[in-house]
Amino acid sequence: MTRVAIVGVGHSKFGKRTDVNVAELAFESIKQAVEDAKVDRKEIGNVVVGSAGGWYEESLPAVIVNEYAGLNSVGTMRVEAACASGSAAVKAAYNSIVSGETDVAMAVGVEKMTEVDTLTSVELIGRAGSYMWEFENFGMTFPAYYALYAVAHMNRFGTKEEDMSRVAVKAHHYGAMNPLAQFQKEITLEKALGSQVVSWPLKLYDACPLTDGSAAVILASEEAAKKLTDTPVWIRGVGYSSDSANLSRRNDYVGLEATVAAAKRAYAMAKVAPGDVDVATAHDCFTIAELMAYEDLGFCKKGEGAKMVREGQTEVGGKIPVNLDGGLKAKGHPIGATGVSMAVEITKQLRGEAGPHQAPIRNGVGLVHNVGGTGHYAYVTILSRS
């Protein structure tokens, strides 16, 4: 089985992008990735597009995006794993290389969430669970899903609203160093704690924004990678799992079992332990999600997520820096683009190209954690310089 490397990355500015349509937005990342990889587009045998869709006008984003980027008669598909669609796209592109179908493949994540009004976006995300049993009669929202976990976590482990707000403060601190982030402004703990309640106990500053954005990575087989680049970042482990559509069928509400299972598989495949990871992105669609991720990924024991953020263990200089790009909270969360954006961030970190928010790299190992829905899907991808 060939090894697979990331040989090119591209990332658009995230935010409310009223200046571009979905194809133009994807193109920004594709162009950068092609130039970064110095690859001829003709060599790309497979383009996988991660996009949840529904909030922009096009129904078939893969062909719209490929046509605009001059990727003619390429093998392609659009994949959906909710907010983990981007990681699913990377996984599908990875598979096409491992299987020998192609030597070079591209994963593109793109989402355009602000062309519809905000409450329509809220509705479309709220329907992403079990429509029949959770939305039709009970009007679930995305914040409500995670709030159910937050309340259980607070009750079981003594996690406080302040602890969740600390995650937001950290996200904005690093977001301020990322020129591609939607929010590049520091916030205070007081501001986060005092923000509007969306779905108690989650407030506006516990929630990621609605975001337009794209990201792209070009993957290559070991043989092709050696010709293309001196700085390949290898995909060493990919783990993925899922959980019930209905939250009523979950065993508990203090962590995401899909993350635990995905992480276990990814660590085993990469032959690394949580302590080997130099830098990580954790899926912080809500602040409570980041705290649970610390625990579910094995960065700390169950119930100690809040302690990690209180002690600054997930900042630069701490035990394991997490979300130095600002995370979903400050960088923004264009649903289908997020997983690819995370892969771009960790690739840059491992190349030493992350600029002001560069983490110290000791073992050359980084981790991407990308959740779809409320642990409905989970993908953990381990990247390495060697």
Partner 1 sequence: MSDDPALHSRRPLTLRFDIPISRTREFWDGLRDGRFITTKCKNCGNVSFPPQADCPNCMKGEFEWVDLGRDAKLLTFTYVQVTPASFVENDPYIIAIGELAKGLKVLAWLEGIGPEDAKLGMAMRIEFRASKEGNPYYVFVKA
| Residues annotated catalytic, as ranges | 83, 333
* Nearest distance, CB of residue 138 and partner 1, angstroms: 6
In terms of CB distance, is 18 or 386 closer to partner 1? Answer: 18
* Nearest distance, CB of residue 73 and partner 1, angstroms: 29
Q: At residue 256, what is the residue type?
A: L
In terms of CB distance, is 256 or 322 closer to partner 1? Answer: 256
Residues 193, 184: Cα–Cα separation, whole Å: 19
In terms of CB distance, is 200 or 268 closer to partner 1? Answer: 200
CB 246 within 8 A of CB 130: yes
Q: Which residues bind partner 1 (CB under 8 A)?
A: 16, 18-19, 57, 117, 119-120, 122-123, 126-127, 130, 132-141, 143-144, 147-152, 155, 196-202, 246-250, 253
* Ramachandran quadrant class, 326 (left: phi over 0; alpha: psi -120 to 50; beta: rest): left
CB 262 within 8 A of CB 351: no
Q: Please report which helix (H) or strand (E) contains residue 47, including its range.
A: strand 46-50
| Phi, psi for residue 44 in degrees, rounded to 5 | -80, 110
Residues 361, 350: Cα–Cα separation, whole Å: 7
Strand pairing class (212-221; 4-11): antiparallel
* Nearest distance, CB of residue 26 and partner 1, angstroms: 18
* Nearest distance, CB of residue 60 and partner 1, angstroms: 16
In terms of CB distance, is 151 or 316 closer to partner 1? Answer: 151
* Nearest distance, CB of residue 201 and partner 1, angstroms: 8
CB 28 within 8 A of CB 36: no
Residues 75, 63: Cα–Cα separation, whole Å: 10
User: Count of CB atoms within 10 A of residue 120's CB?
Assistant: 13
In terms of CB distance, is 45 or 201 closer to partner 1? Answer: 201
In terms of CB distance, is 126 or 326 closer to partner 1? Answer: 126
DSSP structural state of residue 376: T
Residues 214, 325: Cα–Cα separation, whole Å: 15
CB 360 within 8 A of CB 278: yes
- Please name which of 143, 264, 262 lies closest in space to residue 198, comparing C-alpha atoms: 143
* Nearest distance, CB of residue 286 and partner 1, angstroms: 11
CB 305 within 8 A of CB 291: yes
